[in-house]
Amino acid sequence: MSDVYGIKVSRQGHDVKSAADTNLSFSSEFNTLKIAKIIDMTTETEVAHGLGYIPTFVFLRCNKAGEYMMGNPPYTEGMLSSVYVDGTNIYKLVAAASVAAYVVLFSDKLDE
Amino acid sequence: MAYGIKIAKPGTDVLEETDPESFLVHTGYNTLKISQEGYGTTTVVTEVQTTIDITHNLGYNPVVLFYFTHPEDSKWHQAPSRADINQGYSYYMGGGWVYKDTNTITLKLNDSGSAPIPSPPGEVTVEYKYYIFIDPATDSWYE
């Protein structure tokens, strides 16, 4: 029996048997980030995530103009705030006006 | 002909639903696929930028995620960003990354703070984690 196994789905117009990895919409050969939780931090500065590990995360937040962007905005648009995590909590530190923020937490750990 | 894999959220008819947000898996949409990931620790010295080259050999510029800790409390920040006294720390720590070439990314950790944002007191240890995805950062998948 072959030791090659798994699931692949190619992008439309590409033969799944010969498609480059970049033309696969899904492949069980590669790990993916799996969403554990999405937390609204808009009115919070500290939230217990309850995951029991340090999660990989991405966050969307508003700049001073109220526009959503991923990560920390440039200084002139309100950089003096941040979202970060540890094994217990998500933190939002705000040095200026309160900002809206949504944090996506994944099942994948940061410290390994 | 339609093909692929779709798994709908509970209470959703997988055959009738069209909103991609109602699916847990939908191969009609691309998925970020991890090509390579790594965790490590490194030292950052006052007034010296630490750089770490990561070879991926993909031949193009991939999507990247990079995280680092501030040594003062070991909490994790997503790069590009900086953590400094404006956010409750006593000294500056910044992180970012660049495409060195189409086969290499360079992670950057720096302490280039200047008054009133001081650099770390000497040499500090920083943890870092990166993900490099199969997916090109400049692909136009849906055009």
- B34-85 pLDDT, tens digit each: 999 999 999 998 888 899 999 999 999 999 999 999 999 999 999 988 787 7
For residue A86, give the nearest of B28, B75, B129 by CB distance.
B75
Which residues constitute the domain of residue A86? 35-109
Which own/partner pairs from A37-41 qualify as long-range (CB within 8 Å, at least 24 positions apart)?
A37/A104, A37/A105, A38/A102, A38/A103, A38/A104, A38/A105, A39/A90, A39/A102, A39/A103, A39/A105, A40/A101, A40/A102, A41/A83, A41/A90, A41/A92, A41/A101, A41/A102, A41/A103
Digit-coded pLDDT (tens) for B78-95: 998 878 777 778 888 889
pLDDT score at B143: 40
CB-CB under 8 Å, A112 with B30: no
CB-CB under 8 Å, B81 with A71: yes
Same domain, A51 and A97: yes
User: How many whole angstroms separate alpha carbon B81 and alpha carbon A82?
Assistant: 8
- Percent of chain A at pLDDT above 70? 85
User: How many whole angstroms separate alpha carbon B79 and alpha carbon B109?
Assistant: 10
User: How many whole angstroms separate alpha carbon B92 and alpha carbon B114?
Assistant: 9
pLDDT at B112 over 70: no
User: How many whole angstroms separate alpha carbon B44 and alpha carbon B128?
Assistant: 12
Q: How far A1 CA sits from the closest chain B CA (Å)?
A: 25
pLDDT score at A40: 92
Q: Per-residue pLDDT averaged across B28-38, rounded? A: 93
Q: Give the other-Cβ count within 10 Å of B37's Cβ.
A: 16
Comparison of pLDDT for A12 and B82, the residue scoring more: A12
Query: Which chain B residue lies closest to A71 (C-alpha atoms)?
Result: B78
User: How many whole angstroms separate alpha carbon B73 and alpha carbon A32?
Assistant: 29
Digit-coded pLDDT (tens) for A44-70: 889 999 999 999 999 988 877 778 877
DSSP 8-state code for residue A20: -
| Cis peptide bond prior to B80, omega within 30° of 0 | yes
Comparison of pLDDT for A35 and A65, the residue scoring more: A35
CA angle at B130 for the pair B127 and B134, rounded to the nearest 5°: 170
Q: Per-residue pLDDT averaged across B1-7, rounded? A: 82
Same domain, A65 and A20: no
What ipTM does this complex have? 0.87
User: How many whole angstroms separate alpha carbon B104 and alpha carbon B143?
Assistant: 27
User: How many whole angstroms separate alpha carbon A59 and alpha carbon A102?
Assistant: 6
pLDDT score at B82: 79
Same domain, A88 and A58: yes
CB-CB under 8 Å, B82 with A79: yes
Same domain, A52 and A67: yes
User: How many whole angstroms separate alpha carbon B25 and alpha carbon B137?
Assistant: 22
Q: What is the pTM of this model?
A: 0.90
Domains: count for chain A: 2
Query: Is A87 touching B (CB cutoff 8 A)?
Result: no
Domains identified in chain B and CATH numbers:
1-30 (no CATH), 32-136 (2.60.40)
User: How many whole angstroms separate alpha carbon B90 and alpha carbon A79?
Assistant: 17
Residues of B with CB under 8 A from a CB of A: 3-5, 25, 27-35, 37, 39, 60, 65, 67, 70, 73-83, 86-88, 127, 129, 131, 134-136, 139, 141
